[in-house]
Amino acid sequence: MTTRPASLTASEIACLERIDQTAILAQVEHWASINSGSGNLAGLAQTAALLADAFSALPGEVRLVDGAPVEAVRTDGSIDTIERGKHLVVSVRPGANLRLLLTGHMDTVFPADHPFQSLTWLEPGVLNGPGVADMKGGIAVMLAALKAVEASPLGASIGYDLLINSDEEVGSASSAPLIAGLAAGKVAALTYEPALPDGTLAGERGGSGNFSIIVTGRSAHAGRNPHEGRNALVAAADLAVRLKALTRDGLSVNPAKIDGGSANNVVPDHAILRINFRPQSLEMQAFADAALRQLADEIAAAHEVGVHVHGSFGRPPKPIDPGAEKLFGLVKRCGADLGLDISWRGTGGVCDGNNIAACGVPVVDTMGVRGGAIHSADEFLIADSLAERARLSALTILRLAEKRGL
């Protein structure tokens, strides 16, 4: 460590000095060299095995858990089940009075056939590679912090559950029940999404809902008897326009795609509208959900078609409530004691922090590395932030154990 302010105790300093930057970086480079796109089950299995081995250094039960079934609407309107990878769960001292939740994800947005597969040093200290920031760097930070805490005198008083899921980048539908179950009874939660390059954290987040709306009409010859048909494509387009008109302050609506249609001489009897909602509050989420159901009924009546709404608001909005404000304040004070200026701001992005907050648990969800350009081939990690953020996490956990925060 470069600074040892009087506000750090001797025990805290000893804990933080156990964090090894070189070892953390080596883990990130190894893990990021394996493709673990959300749909790459073989790569996810390999990554999960490596993570299970690494996290076995903690004094708890390590499990690889099957997720809940996930349904998807295919382009033909059939509803199928998608297979997701296993999720890593670690439970340490379940009987402790202080119980925390820590979460991360092993999947990336880069499939096995994506050209972005290798690691490159863009300049000294800046590593480019798939998932280095989002979030294999964050997972390494989490583990380093917990190993340091476990070696401290306070370690034995802290209980925690840890989840590293395999489907965060595709909405966490398979792991959502696990998140809710593990969040129960927790005092606070830390999630290891990357911070911005300057260290700024994400504060409040809007929510997200994804829907596939199946429209079933009636086919007919476009020349002989078009009046006997019921055009599903037109009905889906009408619904898309009406839903887009719901956009207002606090709610973004994005009709993204219509699957369906037929030959030019056939009235199409099938279409699927794919649409995303981004509500900024629970009230706006309720409004959007009710409006969607109402407009679906109106379209069904007006076009004489069947309309089936499939989907949900899988990520509820995440406000900064009093509990979250206290937790952010604790992280900020810990940062100050480490010579870091910690600030936060609202973001339109979503993550598992949304789900945790919806369970009533205060959460800071950008405790990972400093980095940027995530979800692109320009993704980068600022390497010095590995030890820096591990120390921030370790100190935050120690202070929670000492009840110097919440």
Distance of CA 364 to the CA centre of its chain: 12
**What radius of gyration do the chain's Cα atoms show?**
24
For the chain, what is the HEC assignment? CCCCCCCCCHHHHHHHCCCCHHHHHHHHHHHHCCCCECCCHHHHHHHHHHHHHHHCCCCCEEEEECCCCEEEECCCCCEEEECCCCEEEEEECCCCCEEEEEEEECCECCCCCCCCCCCEEEECCEEECCCHHHHHHHHHHHHHHHHHHHCCCCHHHEEEEEEEECCHHHCCCCCHHHHHHHHCCCCEEEEECCECCCCCEEEEECCEEEEEEEEECECEECCCCHHHCECHHHHHHHHHHHHHCCCECCEEEEEEEEEECCCCCEECCEEEEEEEEEECCHHHHHHHHHHHHHHHHHHHHHHCCEEEEEEEEEECCECCCHHHHHHHHHHHHHHHHCCCCCCEEEECCCCHHHHHHHCCCCEECECCCEEECCCCCCCEEECCHHHHHHHHHHHHHHHHHCCCCC
Measured CA to CA, the distance from residue 70 to residue 173 in angstroms comes to 6
Q: Does residue 379 carry a catalytic annotation?
A: no
CB atoms < 10 A from the CB of 67, how many?
Answer: 20
Q: Does residue 168 carry a catalytic annotation?
A: yes
Which residue shows structure tokens 């306070």? Answer: 154
Among 12, 107, 150, 167, the one annotated catalytic: 107
The two three-digit tokens of residue 68, written as one number? 């809940």
| CA count, 13 A, side-chain hemisphere, 365 | 25
185: region left, alpha or beta (phi > 0 left; psi from -120 to 50 alpha): left
Measured CA to CA, the distance from residue 331 to residue 325 in angstroms comes to 10
Among 29, 150, 161, 168, the one annotated catalytic: 168
Beta-sheet pairing, 270-279 with 208-216: antiparallel
Q: Please identify every residue annotated as catalytic.
A: 107, 168
